[in-house]
Amino acid sequence: MVVSMIQLIIELPEATSIKDKRRVVSSLRSRIIRRFHITAAEVDLQDSLGFAQIAGAVVSNSRIYGEGVMQKVLRFVEDESDGSVHDVQIHSETF
């Protein structure tokens, strides 16, 4: 079993309140889950107005497949979010 993970920080310059930021992050997270069938959550920086940290994971039987899905998630986030993406980490662990 291989667990592939992504963790990224998104800068959200257009967010004017925490409520506005939550709406943007929740929408993006929902679209990631629906499109790629992975688990995803906002894992840190919840109180930061300008940044959000999102992580996702997928379980598969192949490191290549899992990391390929995470690369697609990264491209999707870069294309679909209005902010810029910082500090991306993608890795897999075999159990």
- pLDDT surpasses 90 at 7: yes
Extract long-range pairs of 44-47: CB within 8 Å, 24+ residues apart. Answer: 45/9, 47/18
Q: How many residues does the chain have?
A: 95
- Please give the model's pTM, rounded to 2 decimal places: 0.86
Nearest to 50 by CA among 17, 85, 13, 88: 13
Q: What is the C-alpha separation between 22 and 17, in angstroms, rounded?
A: 9
Confidence band of 48 (pLDDT split at 50, 70, 90) = confident
Ordered by start, the domain boundaries in the chain are 2-94
* Parallel/antiparallel/unpaired status of strands 51-60 and 2-11: antiparallel
CB 85, CB 10: distance < 8 Å:
yes
| CA nearest to 54, candidates 24, 29, 22 | 29
Region 3-30: what's the mean pLDDT?
Answer: 90
CATH superfamily of this structure's domain 2-94: TT1725-like (3.30.70.1120)
| Averaged pLDDT of the chain | 92
